[in-house]
Amino acid sequence: MSFNQTASNTFARIAQMLELLGSDRFRVNAASKASRELKAQTTDLEPLAKAEDVKALTALEGIGKGTATKLIELAQTGTISEHEELSAKVPAGLMEVLSIPGLGPKTVKLMWDDLKIESVADLKSEIDKGTVAKLPRMGAKTIENIVAAMEFMESSGDRLHLGLAYPIAQSIVQHMREIPGTQRVQYAGSLRRGEETIGDIDILIATTDPDAAKESFTTMPGVTRVLASGDTKSSVRFALSSANERFKDLSTPAEIQIDLRIVPEESWGAALAYFTGSKDHNVALRKLAIKQGMTLNEYGLFKNSDDRGDPIACHTEEAIYLALGIAFVPPTLRQDRGEIQLEELPHLIELADIKADLHTHTTDSDGKLSLQESATLAKERGFHTLAITDHSQSSAIANGLKPDRLRKQIKYIHEFNDSFEGLTILAGSEVDILVDGSLDYDDDLLSALDIVVASPHAGLRAKPKQATKRLLKAICHPSVHIIGHPTGRLIQRRAGLEPDMNELIAAAIEHDVALEINAHWMRLDLRDTHVRAAVEAGCKIAINCDVHHANDYNNLIFGILTGQRGWLTPDLCINTWDHDKLHAWLRSKRS
Ligand code: DGT
Ligand code: CA
Ligand code: CA
Ligand code: ZN
């Protein structure tokens, strides 16, 4: 998988660079076709390429002699010389310009040729000078969109997606746990709070052998630079590509900073609370301590206005909250959004509460799993229900199903369900909410489905007013159960729709529709603040993995963390309901 992905991405970049350099159409097309074919391969090409097995490679559909030779080169040297040669000719900054949503190779080439634009900074200054507006096909609207996209990319900065930081932190914690002397180790900071993006990873350790911890941390695989290595704090830069090949595809930073803090075992709880944050939550906690004549810092809670003497609480976080006279606040709620003032905190949803996934794709549209494979995975998770919701006809690039194909699929799924033990499989659809708010199938077909997830996919730059109208119309449709990824945002990539959430929530309650938290870490849509508003109003929530690959089932935790950050309790989340309750609700929309 990862070799294939790397190869596919390399060919895609080759195609882009060829286009920027004005190579002939034939070469550009060949490279981008190779990229697509490689992405579609289901065989792992690495062993074949390593063994220089040209015959086996070219026997595969879509791989010609030329591609095979380059794959062998990639397997042996880690690069393709054509890619290296092109990289020397195309400024890196220009590739960054190309990554701005809305800018294609043709336009970028023109900017490079005519205006000598070689970086995002150049582009900005040329827009200010008014020269970009003089290029062909560059209307005021187009420039406005480019500026907005640049601003969005800037404001979201160099933060890493939760789903990408999470496995890195877990493996480092595991690594540190195995070092002799380690007493406790845990990640803290924004990651422990389940924030959607992570600035840096904070690891806390209590150990009897600080030197061993420091040494092992600064020399672990993936470390590219040691920024600091002191007695209480070490900082390193960590290469993301070594942890996950998927980074190659994303406009994420190439490295992330990781801080290790060595703290005394006896004040573990105080240190963990301090370094978990958020800063605002810590400030509020400290104020509360001061009000009671106490002092709180990373070493403990002290009875006086300074930290002399023995602390009254320091060993565990629970002891500190208890001594402050407030309920224990779970990390995901530490946002200073009212969690300190409450006598009793909500009983938050947890991973183990989820009993169903209601938004999944199969090979019938753009998924990689067959019905059989997905059903097996869902059953292994202990789910009682799985909904198959492939794309609808307007999502042509996602191989959306035309009505006749969907009718056949419904029949097939129902037959399959009858023969599959231990899991109920529903025939559904992720139906496009079209730009005018109508749905992508006729009402007859929609009502023949066991479950309808309606989602916006195109036209995601609409004005807030239009967006609200569009989504409201879908919510009001009698066949719809769930609104999937309601805004269509992609974290750090695309802002998505900005509808009036309160109106949507009110309508969802009135029409008994659930709003989805899409658990994919690229989406997390609804976001935490939206969930909080929905939960406060009493709106039903669905947490779905939008499964396309087997791995996607593992994204559930990110949906749960987002739900927790929105104060979600299990009762409001339809995926936690038992079989009969869920199915009765689904059927209530089918008269
Ligand atoms: P990030 O890394 O930007 O995603 O966000 P955090 O929350 O992980 O922030 P970071 O890494 O700068 O610091 C980790 C935690 O340490 C932070 O959540 C709270 C605590 N902390 C750091 N600096 C301060 C400070 O100046 N005052 C207080 N009260 N807490 C701090
Ligand atoms: Ca951090
Ligand atoms: Ca930090
Ligand atoms: Zn989907």
The arithmetic mean of pLDDT across residues 465-472, rounded, is 97
**Which residue(s) pair with 259 in the sheet?**
202, 235
Atom 24 (ligand 1) nearest CA:
279
Q: What is the pLDDT of residues 383-398, one digit of tens each?
A: 999 999 999 999 988 8
Q: What is the Å distance from ligand 3's center to 527 Cα? A: 23
Give residue 330 CA to ligand 1 midpoint distance, Å.
17
Across-strand partners of 182?
207
Confidence of residue 2 (pLDDT cuts 50, 70, 90): low
Residue 461: Cβ within 10 Å count? 17
Q: Determine if the peptide bond prior to 81 is cis (ω within 30°).
A: no
Q: Is the pLDDT of residue 453 over 50?
A: yes
Please state, in angstroms and rounded to a whole number, the distance separating the CA atoms of residues 233 and 217: 11
Q: Quote the DSSP letter at residue 313.
A: B
Which of the ligands is closest to the CA of residue 552? Answer: 4
pLDDT value of position 1 = 39
The DSSP letter of residue 400 is P
Query: In this structure, which residue's CA is closest to atom 16 in ligand 1?
Result: 275
> Ligand 4 centre from 482 Cα, in Å?
12
Determine the 3-state secondary structure of 281 from DSSP.
helix
Minimum CA distance residue for ligand 1 atom 18: 277
Does ligand 1 lie within 6 Å of residue 199's CB atom?
yes
Ligand 4 centroid to Cα of residue 34, in Å, is 26
509 Cα: distance to centroid of ligand 1 (angstroms): 37
Q: At 61, is the pLDDT very low, low, confident or very high (cuts 50, 70, 90)?
A: confident
Provide φ and ψ at 264, rounded to 5°. Answer: -65, 140
Q: Is 189 in the pocket of ligand 1 (CB under 6 A)?
A: yes
Cβ(279) – ligand 1 distance below 6 Å = yes
Ligand 1, atom 14, lies closest to the CA of: 189
- 585 CA to centre of ligand 4 in angstroms: 21
Statement: residue 202 has pLDDT above 50: yes
- How many helices (H) and strands (E) the chain has is answered by 24, 16
Which ligand has its closest atom nearest to the C-alpha of 277?
1
Which pLDDT band, with edges at 50, 70 and 90, does 241 fall under?
A: low
Tell me the pLDDT tens digit for each residue of 494-509. Answer: 889 999 999 999 999 9
Name the pairing type of β-strands 424-432 and 451-455: parallel
The answer on pLDDT for 194 being more than 90 is yes
CB 180 within 8 A of CB 210: no
CA of 391 to the centre of ligand 4 (A): 7
Token pair in block for residue 34: 């190779």
In DSSP notation, 172-200 reads: HHHHHHTSTTEEEEEE-HHHHTT-SEESS
Ligand nearest to the CA of 429: 4
- CB-based contacts of 503, cutoff 8 Å, min separation 6: 468, 472
Distance (Å, whole) CA 492 – CA 34: 28
Give residues with Cβ within 8 angstroms of 399, minimum separation 6: 364, 365, 366, 391
420, pLDDT greater than 80: yes
Q: Is residue 252 pLDDT above 80, yes or no?
A: no
CB 572 within 8 A of CB 514: no
Atom of ligand 1 nearest to the CA of 189: 8
What tens digit of pLDDT does each residue of 320-373 get?
A: 999 999 999 999 999 999 999 888 899 999 999 999 999 999 999 999 999 999
